[in-house]
Amino acid sequence: MLMGFNLRRLRFETNLTQEQLGDRVGVSARRVQRWEAGTKGIGKHVLLRLCKVLSVKPYVFYTDEKSLCISNSRELNIIYKYREAEKLGVSDMIEQFCVFIVGQAKKKQCLLQRPSNVN
């Protein structure tokens, strides 16, 4: 069921219909529908074709929003630093700082994307 849920989510994110995805992978829309419903399994060769079409890694099909997926060494390093902060009792401070910094970055991004009024 998780693979089907993730396939459906990824298909929506890429704005593809079941028919379009099926065409790109080389299967019928009905087959895609069965995968998404969890009534039909996805073979490993087809999974690799899906990954190519959807531009994702295979692990994406096996994880949910609660799963931790580390995509690079920098993320892993941040997790190690956070665990150190927990041991030192400063993890709340780190979390507050992260919320603040991300908020500031979002504000800056919004300002940069705002169209300028040139008269």
Residue with tokens 């065409």: 23
Q: What is the pLDDT along the chain (119 residues), one digit of tens a residue?
A: 788 999 999 999 999 999 999 999 999 999 999 999 988 889 889 999 999 999 988 888 887 766 666 667 787 788 888 888 888 889 888 889 989 999 999 888 887 777 666 55
Q: What is the pLDDT of residue 112?
A: 77
The Cα–Cα gap between 7 and 27 comes to 14
The Cα–Cα gap between 40 and 47 comes to 13
The answer to whether the beta carbons of residues 58 and 49 sit under 8 Å apart is no
Q: With CA atoms as reference, report the closest residue to 14 among 62, 52, 46.
A: 52
Choosing among 2.40.10.340, 1.20.1250.20, 1.10.3720.10, 1.10.260.40, the CATH entry for 2-62 is 1.10.260.40
Look at residue 43 and give its three-state secondary structure: coil
In the chain, what are the domain boundaries?
2-62, 73-113
The answer to whether the beta carbons of residues 24 and 58 sit under 8 Å apart is no
Residue with tokens 């039909």: 40
